[in-house]
Every structure is written in structure tokens, then in C-alpha cells.
Amino acid sequence: MLTGQLSGERRLTAASKGWMGMDENAIHQWLIECFGPIQGEVAWTQISQLPEEVRTQLMSQDSSKLPKPQEVQALMQAFSAGGLNTVGDMQRTVAEGPINVKLATSIALQQANDDSSQRTVAAQDGQAVRSAMSEANLWLDTACSFDPAPGEPQVLTRAGWVEGTVDAWAKFAAPVAQSMSEALSAVLSERLGGALDGEIAGVFAGPVPLPLPEGMKDPVKLIKLLGNTSYAMQLGHAAGDLSHEVRGSFDQGVALLKNPAGALIAQNAVEYAKELDIEQGEVLAFLALQEVAHARLFADVAWLMPRFEALIGKYARGVDIDLDAVEEQLREADTMNPESIAGAVNLTKVGIPDTPEQKEAMAGLENLLALVEGWVDCITWKAGMAHIPHIEQLREMLRRERAVGGPAERTFESLIGMQLRPKRMREAAALWESIGGTEGAEARDAKWGHPDLLPKLQGDDAAIAAANATDVTSTGAAPAAGGKAIESSAKEPTIDWDAELSKLLGEESGDGADDNSGGDNSGDSDASGNSGDDKPTA
């Protein structure tokens, strides 16, 4: 009932002004279901005190499109966990940076700890994973010259993976988030601010429209807070989704955990093994080999991760935002659902196509990812061929997964604007296998001694030069004396099988999932050598 909330005179006045499009009983009941009888009544009272412009927009909406009460409750819990309880918290969050990492972590943990997730690692699963990683390190001693990474490999839950990697994702995304924040501020202050006389008197704080207190009425400060929290929501949802898909800490091809020895997410690894018609021990052994091979490479090659960071940073800092698109997204945003603001910070909707500098950074990143994943693929086969009967099937499945990617990876593409997966893994694996067969394992691994020594994937001269220039600038590394890149043994360019496979699978699924896999940013991804040969040449 609405008794005591609005006087009859106010109700008639409001009706005469046309702001009663939304059913009063529906919104009143929704507030109670979201926040309980006491807080719900308080919220309803506050709605009546909102400025007329805000009330008009609010009450003209369709009540059936309101967020579900349980979603609102989860969001409020996340905001509380994200430290957004007071105006001081909000102001501090805006000052600290473009992404509220605490909020992102809280949202991701909620998804990681859903009903299907284990809060702790099952003893049997943990033992199986630890045993697989221990054996994998022993097998790798005969396949590569790099020593085991320092420390002990971890066995993680999904939540443990979130807690260990969100900071790294936030670091990659920070330049893009900063550009988004500046774009949102510009749109509100320059284009929409005049309509509000330079001040927003009342708008949502969390999921309920509330009059904003002093100190947060400046539209620039407010939009920075909205951009900060909306971007954090996107990051949190993406990390939460990805926590159900990743099996190891290097699945994205870069080092995300602080533990250099790597980790496997036990529940995901075991569930993946159960999905395949292959004995579980074989699958875990294969995943463990992949993980510890990555760990050895990143631990021994000191310049590798800084170079990845430099390339990702170069791309992210070049992101440009379409202010017209941002304004359109803001106008269409649902006032009662703060997550709808996330559309205004989604690069797939408001990003401007890549600049030449970004394309160079992307080409360099794709080349480096392919070389890393190709080396790991080569080493995994050599170390596991005597121990894993179905290693060829597992190898091919992984290649296809890496080529196509999943929904969570595409979500990160909307955050950072780039793909963190290789496109020429087969070509790179064949190249590493050829080098190992002709020059030996030690000479093959010595190519990682400096960026100038890395073998080239055919046709990547410009990309390699741009990538090396970025690396030298960011790390201060001097070119190796007499360093000379090694050419691929292939004489004729053939087909990029990963790109073609990715396109085929995308067409068959009909969802356009792989529109990005062979995209405009791939540079010269059609050039590949020996890429169709799935069998090792060692």
C-alpha cells in the first residue's frame, strides 16, 4: 500500500504532470522485495523527493524490465564489498584510479563461488593434479634446457584463480578504462551537462534512485564514478565467467599469477578430463605439461613478460572513443539498472577502429603469442609423447580451442579491445620443431636469449621490428651483438589453418563467435609456413 508515502494532493499533481507511466504498486513492491519492508519504504519515500526530471524518466519506464530482486541484492552486496558505502568511499574510489578493482574482485568471486563451484579443492582431485604437475616437471627435464620455475606449482579453486589474477587484468585494462572515463566525462559535461544546469540533483546510487549528497553532484565526478564502477562490473563478470573455463594460469598465453611456478584450477581440469573420451590421468598430465612448460619459459626469459606488457600497453593507450556513440549509449541506459551503464564503456559499441600504431602493436603481440604457444606445443609433445598415448588428439583439441576462443575471452576483448590468443600456433610449432631437429634443443631454447634472436614467422618483418622497438623502449634492452633473426624454412606461403578453422567453426555455429579471429588486426596472418602439418618434424 502507498498510505503515508505520498499525499493525495501530491499524487494528483504528479499524475497531472504525466510521470505515472510506471505502475506504483509494481515499483513499490519491487523495492520491498529488493530491500525488505523497512528499507523498501524508505526508498519509495526518496523517490517522491527526486527532481521532477528524474521522476519523469524513472516512472515512464516499463516495470517488467526492472532487474530481478535477487540480482539487485547481489549487486548491493558487491558494492558493499567493493567499499562503496559512503560518499567518502565514492570520492576515494574515483581518486584511486579508473577501475575499482575491489568491486571487480567481489563480483568475480560471486560468480566463481556459484552453486557449481567447489569452495575448497577436493582431496582426491588435488592429489591427482599435484602428482601430474610433479611428473610433468620431470618429463620436461629431457625436452628443454630451461630449469623448473622457482617455487611450487599451485592447485587452485576458481575463487583462488580470481583472487590471483584480477589485479593483472586490471593493470592491462587501466589505460582503456582511463580513456573511457575521460570520454564519459566529456560527453556528460560538454553535451549533456547543460541540460542539467551543470549539476545532477538526483540519480541512482547503487540500484535505487537516491538524491545525491553534496560532493557528488558534480556531473564530471559522478560520471567518473559511474565509469569506474561500470568498468569494474564488466571486469568482474568477465573474470567470473573465465574462472569456469580456464584450466591453468597461463591459458591466456601470459603470466597472470605472482607465483612463477604456475597453477592448475583443479575443478576445471578434472571436469575437462571427464568431458573427454580419454583417461583422466592422460588429460591431467597433458594440462600439467602445458602449465609447467609455460612457467619454465616465463621464469627463464626475463624480458618476455615486460615485452607483453609493453605491447598490450601500447595498444591500450591508443584506444580512441567515439563520443557520439558514448552519448547514444548514455541516453539509452536504464536509470534503474546501473549495469546498463556498462554499454557506454564497452569497446565493441563505442571504440574507434585501430590506428596504425595499434595495428603494429597487435601484429607484434600476435607474433609473440604464437611463438610462445608454438614453443610450448613443441616442448609438450616432446616431453609427453612417451607417456601420453592420446597426446596428438589432446594437442589438436587445444589448438582449436586457442584458435576460436570462448565467450569469456570475447568479453575481455570488449574490455581491452584486443585478443589474447595466438593465430599462427601451428606455424610456430613447426618452426620450433624444425629448429630443434636441425640445431638441437639447447640452440633452439637459446633463441629466447634476446628478442632479436627469435625466429621469424614468414612475412612478419615489419611486425617484429615494431615489436622489438617497443620492447627496447620499455625495457632499456640493447640489441644483441650480431643478433640475426632466423628465417622460416618455408619458401612458399600457405594457409593459416588456425584462422581458417576458426572461421569455419564460427560459420557452423552461426553465432559469429570468430569474427575477430581472422580480423583486420591480424596484419599478415595469411602468411604461414608448414602450418598444415600436425605431426612433429623432430
What is the DSSP code string of 377-434?
HHHHHHHHTTT-TTHHHHHHHHHHHHHH--HHHHHHHHHHSS--S-S-HHHHHHHHHH
One domain, residues 100 and 201: yes
C-alpha–C-alpha distance, residues 347 and 296, integer Å? 34
C-alpha–C-alpha distance, residues 325 and 35, integer Å? 34
Q: Concatenate the DSSP letters of all residues of 121-170 into one string.
A: --HHHHHHHHHHHHHHHHHHTTT-SPPPPSS--EEE-HHHHHHHHHHHHH
Of 442, 445, 433, nearest to 537 by C-alpha is 433
For residue 438, being part of any structural domain is answered with no
Cell of 353: 577502429
* 399 pLDDT more than 90: no
One domain, residues 190 and 206: yes
* pLDDT given for residue 282 in this prediction: 96
- Strand 208-211 and strand 202-205: pairing? antiparallel
Q: Could you tell me if 54 and 201 are in contact, meaning their C-beta atoms sit under 8 angstroms apart?
A: yes
Band of pLDDT at residue 342, cut at 50, 70 and 90: low
For residue 482, being part of any structural domain is answered with no
C-alpha–C-alpha distance, residues 324 and 399, integer Å? 40
For residue 296, being part of any structural domain is answered with yes
Number of structural domains (the chain) is 2
Cell of 14: 504528479
HSE (CB half, 13 Å, CA atoms) of 518? 16
Q: Could you tell me if 259 and 154 are in contact, meaning their C-beta atoms sit under 8 angstroms apart?
A: yes
Of 293, 243, 295, nearest to 269 by C-alpha is 243
- Strand 263-265 and strand 154-156: pairing? parallel
* 33 pLDDT more than 80: yes
* pLDDT given for residue 508 in this prediction: 46
Cell of 283: 588429460
One domain, residues 62 and 189: no
Signed CA dihedral, 79, 80, 81, 84: sign only: positive
CA 464 to chain centre: 25
Of 151, 158, 152, 162, nearest to 122 by C-alpha is 158
For residue 148, being part of any structural domain is answered with yes
Residue 248, beta-bridge partner list: 264
DSSP H or E run through 263: strand 263-265
Of 164, 158, 237, 182, nearest to 410 by C-alpha is 237
One domain, residues 41 and 139: no
Band of pLDDT at residue 284, cut at 50, 70 and 90: very high
Q: Could you tell me if 158 and 249 are in contact, meaning their C-beta atoms sit under 8 angstroms apart?
A: no
C-alpha–C-alpha distance, residues 79 and 387, integer Å? 49
* 301 pLDDT more than 70: yes
Phi, psi of 456 (to 5 degrees): -105, 140
* 449 pLDDT more than 90: yes
Give the residue-averaged pLDDT of 397-409.
Answer: 77
Which of 354, 371, 399 is the C-terminal boundary of a domain?
354
For residue 1, being part of any structural domain is answered with no
Q: What angle do CA 506, 509, 511 make, to 5 degrees?
A: 75
C-alpha–C-alpha distance, residues 56 and 177, integer Å? 31
Q: Could you tell me if 294 and 422 are in contact, meaning their C-beta atoms sit under 8 angstroms apart?
A: no
C-alpha–C-alpha distance, residues 511 and 112, integer Å? 26
* Residue 374: other Cβ atoms inside 10 A: 23
Residue 155, beta-bridge partner list: 264
One domain, residues 114 and 59: no
The 8-class DSSP code of residue 312 comes to H
C-alpha–C-alpha distance, residues 110 and 120, integer Å? 15
One domain, residues 75 and 60: no
* 472 pLDDT more than 50: no
Which of 66, 81, 106 is the C-terminal boundary of a domain?
66
Residue 221 domain boundaries = 70-300+321-354
Q: Could you tell me if 426 and 398 are in contact, meaning their C-beta atoms sit under 8 angstroms apart?
A: no
Helix (H, G, I), strand (E, B) or coil at 220: helix
42-76 pLDDT per residue, tens: 777 777 776 676 666 666 666 666 667 776 666 66
The 8-class DSSP code of residue 187 comes to I
One domain, residues 51 and 140: no
For residue 497, being part of any structural domain is answered with no
One domain, residues 212 and 246: yes
One domain, residues 126 and 12: no
Give the residue-averaged pLDDT of 321-336.
Answer: 68
Band of pLDDT at residue 478, cut at 50, 70 and 90: very low
One domain, residues 56 and 204: no
- How large a percentage of the chain has pLDDT more than 70? 59
* pLDDT given for residue 23 in this prediction: 66
118-139 pLDDT per residue, tens: 889 999 999 999 999 999 999 9
One domain, residues 90 and 51: no
Q: Quote the pTM value.
A: 0.70
Cell of 31: 523495492
One domain, residues 194 and 293: yes
Phi, psi of 79 (to 5 degrees): -60, -40
DSSP H or E run through 310: helix 304-317
Q: Minimum mean pLDDT among 101-115, 299-313, 492-506: which range? A: 492-506
First-to-last alpha carbon distance for the chain, in angstroms, is: 78
Q: Could you tell me if 428 and 375 are in contact, meaning their C-beta atoms sit under 8 angstroms apart?
A: yes
* Residue 114: other Cβ atoms inside 10 A: 11
Give the residue-averaged pLDDT of 434-448.
Answer: 96
* 415 pLDDT more than 60: yes
For residue 509, being part of any structural domain is answered with no
Which comes out higher in pLDDT, residue 407 or 167?
Answer: 167
Give the residue-averaged pLDDT of 29-52.
Answer: 77
Which of 25, 44, 66 is the C-terminal boundary of a domain?
66
* Residue 537: other Cβ atoms inside 10 A: 16
CA 21 to chain centre: 39
Phi, psi of 211 (to 5 degrees): -65, 130
Q: Could you tell me if 262 and 154 are in contact, meaning their C-beta atoms sit under 8 angstroms apart?
A: yes
For residue 24, being part of any structural domain is answered with yes
